[in-house]
Structure 1
Amino acid sequence: MTDDQILFLALAALVSLGAFAVGLRFRRMAASPWPERSLADTHRFGLMMMIAGPLLLIFMLAGVFGGWLDVQR
């Protein structure tokens, strides 16, 4: 793997962890009273972010692997 690919994977991992952490935070906020948003909206957004984080990492890994396969040909 090239240095650019390693840097890209590290960035993808950080973004994925950040999205997952935001999702966890919103899930916790759903447990406490929050007047601006309804409980269902907060819970749904938290769940969506917890799913989006790992999916983002999977798609970025697939892109890096596809690029690596192109270079090998």
Structure 2
Amino acid sequence: MIKNVIQQLGFALLIIGLFTLVISGFLVIALFAFILLVLALIGDHLISLKKTQISSDDAFIDSSTAAQRNCK
């Protein structure tokens, strides 16, 4: 009888361990996906900042060439 109880307890612990392993695996995958999402958003933000900087440089070049044309 004690052996039967120990076997049932071991089986229950095995099932709990497997569920814990599966849940922790999902959490690791979710954490990895979240990190990739954050990196993608940061990269997108940096790209948009660079595009804004390029367009402002173009505007500066356009205004300086316009000023040179007005001086002539």
Structure 1-normalised TM-score?
A: 0.46
Which of structures 1 and 2 has the bigger CA Rg?
2
Higher normalized contact order (CA 8 Å, seq sep 6+, divided by chain length): 1
Structure with the higher fraction of residues in helix conformation: 2
Structure 2-normalised TM-score?
A: 0.46
